[in-house]
Structure 1
């Protein structure tokens, strides 16, 4: 039996109604029990990956799952975001100068510190003291080291969420034709999208291969991304501690999500069959059904 009062601070922090908790307990706890069983069978710390487009609820799911596993089973659990491992603004500006201007915008493969992410995840499965970087989206930069999280490892379950987590690269031939006006006007020679695809093929598997269980929150289509991302930014703007920070306008968000269209549409086509737990969402981000395309194995 779950004590609902335990999750009252969680609902308040994420600005969620009680209905979210009811839905989470219905859909997510059976999956959580499977995760616990896999951890027991493996006899070691495990890494759970959550894939989903911008605004689909990945962070909320990761935080809920971590809280529920900790409260219900007493497991040492931590939720992390791919976003926390973004390169700094300065590093991305260097990429923009040396490779392509579009790499100044965070998010796509090639704009993360994959080496730091890999070593951090591996450190969390071993005994020791681990520092977790924090990325401040409102400032579009990595937070000062003094604000980084401090974790005593090892953990039992590490939950990592990210919009492109576990994704395979596209075929190079699929990159030829621009997918939107951003690619048409700003990536005429295809240098940006080719660099992103190369990073996804050659660099990111060092992290993706560490994932034991892959979850996907599947949006109905890419059209949902703009609206969901706008709602996400409005939540950020409503917080009292974001005065004088870099909150994006609706036009900014439209331009921003265009960076993700190609890979998001690729993910919606190819990722479902690779997920262990596949949640189908409706236009309002509500879970409609659950599939288990792949069996979890040791």
Structure 2
């Protein structure tokens, strides 16, 4: 007997931005004090990590609108997804590691162009019009490719961003010491044992460049966590059920499982580090992270400043 589609929460209630906005504004006030007297300080940069399917897009939209329209702070939202490797570079990466299933497609640390992200963040400090990279996930039959630079929009010349929200599912992940990663790989796991230890170690090594950049760049961090990260399987199933109803096509149950399995190893390895605090051990960053925990219905169950 076919399993019926799970019920879909079609109306996402935004109970997160009322918690996020006061936190971000308080950090901006501290930032202003630190940069008092500077004529054009660089934008205040907020990192945002939300487990996939939690309603991150809805939240980011609400945050940007509130900061811009109500607080008078021109706000730019950028996704780390727009910094994926070009199609050609992704193919070359996959060919260089043909037996590593973690890098055959975009997604995992190591499949982004960190020099491009570095240059973009550096350019924003000039408060001059800055090209914003764009990525087309539909290109090459869904494999994706970066759009040509000639098509990238520019930040405003008359109203440069005062706040940048940099969002992405792996923002805030910190690389593990090799011995810690090995220890986790040897424990009971949902997905880690699907991969060789050396393949996970390769991704972990690539992650160091992400953290080196972001640890010195982010001024605040928001983590939308789940009571149980395995909720992402059900949330993705709901999204695909909606696609089947609305468009007549969408991934089935087994396809969803394989899709989520592809990125779930990173949750197993790095979520606890984000929960402890991405600025752990970074002097002067106490109180700069907001953690919001949601239940299966995506509703907030608790929040805390770390």
Instruction: Name the TM tier (shorter chain).
Output: 0.7 to 0.9
Hey, what's the Cα distance between the residues in 1 that align with 2:116 and 2:252? 31
Worse overlay, 142-151 or 192-201: 142-151
Q: Secondary structure at the match of 2:235?
A: helix
Find the partner of 1:281 among 294, 297, 306: 294
Aligned counterpart, 2:286: none
Find the partner of 2:152 among 133, 138, 148: 148
Aligned counterpart, 1:82: 80
Query: Deviation at 1:56?
Result: 2.1
Match status 1:31 vs 2:35: no
Q: Secondary structure at the match of 2:228?
A: coil
Query: Deviation at 1:204?
Result: 3.9
Question: Which consecutive residues of structure 1, in runs of 5 or more, have no partner in the other structure?
Answer: 1-14, 294-298
TM-score normalised over the length of structure 2 = 0.77
Hey, what's the Cα distance between the residues in 2 that align with 1:162 and 1:119? 18
1:42-80 deviations in Å (ceiling 9; x for gaps): 433211001122112333222211111000121111111
Aligned counterpart, 2:13: 20
Find the partner of 1:267 among 262, 266, 270: 270
> What is the 5 A alignment of 1:97-176?
97-100=95-98, 101-102=100-101, 103-138=103-138, 139-145=142-148, 147-152=151-156, 154-176=160-182
Hey, what's the Cα distance between the residues in 2 that align with 1:94 and 1:173? 29
TM-score normalised over the length of structure 1 = 0.79
Structure 1 pair 236–63 and aligned structure 2 pair: CA distance change class (3 A)? farther
Hey, what's the Cα distance between the residues in 2 that align with 1:86 and 1:249? 27
Q: Which has the larger radius of gyration?
A: 2
Worse overlay, 194-203 or 171-180: 171-180
1:216-241 deviations in Å (ceiling 9; x for gaps): 1111122111122334456677888x
Residue pair 1:32, 1:65 contacting (<8 A) in 2 also: no
Query: Deviation at 1:249?
Result: 4.6
Kindly tell me the number of residue pairs found equivalent between the two proteins.
Answer: 271
Hey, what's the Cα distance between the residues in 1 that align with 2:67 and 2:246? 28
Query: Deviation at 1:203?
Result: 4.8
Q: Secondary structure at the match of 2:213?
A: helix
User: Cα RMSD over matched residues?
Assistant: 2.9
Hey, what's the Cα distance between the residues in 2 that align with 1:141 and 1:83? 10
Match status 1:219 vs 2:226: yes
Question: Which consecutive residues of structure 2, in runs of 5 or more, have no partner in the other structure?
Answer: 1-8, 36-40, 279-288
Match status 1:94 vs 2:107: no
Residue pair 2:130, 2:154 contacting (<8 A) in 1 also: yes
Residue pair 1:230, 1:250 contacting (<8 A) in 2 also: yes
1:194-232 deviations in Å (ceiling 9; x for gaps): 110001124542234311101111111221111223344
Query: Deviation at 1:288?
Result: 1.7
Hey, what's the Cα distance between the residues in 1 that align with 2:236 and 2:154? 29
Find the partner of 2:261 among 258, 262, 266: 258
1:91-126 deviations in Å (ceiling 9; x for gaps): 222111112442122211101111111111221232
